[in-house]
Amino acid sequence: MKDTAIAKNNPQPFPMTERTLLTQPTVGIDIGGTKINAAIVVPDAPAGEDCWRSLLNAHTPADSETFLRTLSDMINQLKQESPIQAVGIATAGVVDSIHGQILGSTGNMPALTHLRNLKERVEAEVQLPVHVENDANAAAYGEWCYGAAQGARNMFAITLGTGVGMGIVFNGQMYRGSHFYAGEGGHIAISYRRERKCTCGRWDCWEAFASGTGLQKTAELAVEAATETAQAEFKAKYCTNEEVTTYAVIAAWKDGNPIGHQIMDEWHHHIAVGLGSLINVMDPDMIVVGGGLAQFVNFDLLLERTRERSMSAAFNLVPATLGNYAGIVGAAYLAQEAQR
């Protein structure tokens, strides 16, 4: 085992790596459970400016044929605005990115159950090469190409939302694993006591603690354990119908409420436990944190807690910069890579 003190006190910076450059206008599409976003990602956007243009969005259809028609209509509309050369699609689920097939989809997108060969079906409709990628992978790649992780050699990005997503770039390449399951960091176990059941069916996954759902569970337990007086005050001031939600927690935390502070402190600890374990395995030079809950992360506190859990201190921990557009940008860049 490496000497932890040496690793912490003598960090050796990795050499920076050149990011991938987009050379032609490319359509990027991000498919979510309720909404599809599509845009043209352009190669000549000045540094610091948005690199996407002509943003379109549509409701995510449940029927597969309507779903396919919606995608095709969006792509064909964007084709009228620019000489598009390729299309990148980011979607939830396990994706065989070589063949463009959906190996496993999320339950909130039933249309994909009957569109396993998504690449082939879309290409037939729009007459353009199509690349299909897992959405967390695409978001990570977007941050590496044009966002917070530009120049990093080894990085991973996590998204904190309803679940915990993750994508990995190692040595300047998207890392997908041998069977396209790499990056399921949300399902590493951070406890063995069978405390919380995860949506995947297993117990004590990181996602069950660090996600929005996990934060709400932490909050419910903290309020339940509080004194009757503190509990009544918390619910009266921050809860509707006495329901303890993440919104109630955030409001209490911003208000300086002791229970709110305790909950958010524990949530940062939960995030740091998972990050520390991942850092000890992968030794990245950068970690990017995004997703809807990232705006509530205290990065100074999270960095401190994470360094307590990791053998190396030679990493940067930064907020994502592309927001909801990381998947669009990453999908477009990966589509170009697939054409080489």
Domains of the chain: 26-143+325-338 (3.30.420.40), 153-320 (3.30.420.40)
pLDDT at 11 over 80: no
Residue 10 has pLDDT above 60, yes or no: no
Whether residue 39 is predicted with pLDDT greater than 80 in this model: the reply is: yes
pLDDT of residue 184: 92
Per-residue confidence (pLDDT) for residue 18, from 0 to 100: 62
Give me the chain's average pLDDT, please.
92
The whole-angstrom separation of Cα 200 and Cα 304 is: 30
Cα distance between residue 180 and residue 278, in whole Å:
18
Rounded Cα–Cα distance for residues 161 and 149 (Å): 20
Which amino acid type is present at position 91? T
Whole-angstrom distance, CA of residue 265 vs CA of residue 225:
16
Mean local confidence (pLDDT), 67-85: 96
Closest CA to 266 of 217, 311, 227: 217
- Output the pLDDT for position 109: 86
Structure tokens at 96: 């065989």
Identify which of 155, 157, 159 has the alpha carbon closest to the alpha carbon of residue 173.
155
The Cα–Cα gap between 111 and 68 comes to 9
Question: Can you point out the beta strands (E) in 135-282?
Answer: 154-160, 164-170, 173-175
Cα 117 to Cα 339: distance, rounded to the nearest angstrom: 18
Residue range 170-198: average pLDDT? Answer: 94
Phi/psi zone of residue 322: left (φ > 0), alpha (ψ -120 to 50 degrees), beta?
alpha
Here the tokens at position 232 are 């009544």
How confident is the model at residue 6, as a pLDDT?
37
Report, as an integer, the average pLDDT of 22-46.
92
pTM score: 0.91
How many other CB atoms sit within 10 Å of the CB of residue 78? Answer: 24
pLDDT at residue 9 is higher than 50: no
pLDDT tens, residue by residue, 303-329: 999 999 999 999 999 999 999 999 999
Query: How far apart, in whole angstroms, are the C-alpha atoms of residue 121 and residue 114?
Result: 11
Q: Mean pLDDT throughout 61-75?
A: 96
Q: Over 80: is that where the pLDDT of 47 sits?
A: no
Q: 259, 221 in Cβ contact below 8 A?
A: no
pLDDT value at position 7? Answer: 45
pLDDT tens digits, residue range 231-285? Answer: 999 999 999 998 999 999 999 999 999 999 999 999 999 999 999 999 999 999 9
166 and 182 in contact (C-beta within 8 Å)?
A: no
pLDDT at 157: 98
Structural element, H or E, at residue 59: strand 52-59
Nearest to 164 by CA among 213, 217, 207, 108: 207
79 vs 26: CA distance, rounded Å: 10
Q: Given pLDDT bands bounded at 50, 70 and 90, which one contains residue 20?
A: low
φ, ψ (nearest 5 deg) of residue 334: -70, -30
In tens, the pLDDT along 189-243 reads 999 999 999 988 999 999 999 999 999 999 999 999 999 999 999 999 999 998 9
Q: Which two tokens stand for residue 262?
A: 């305790």
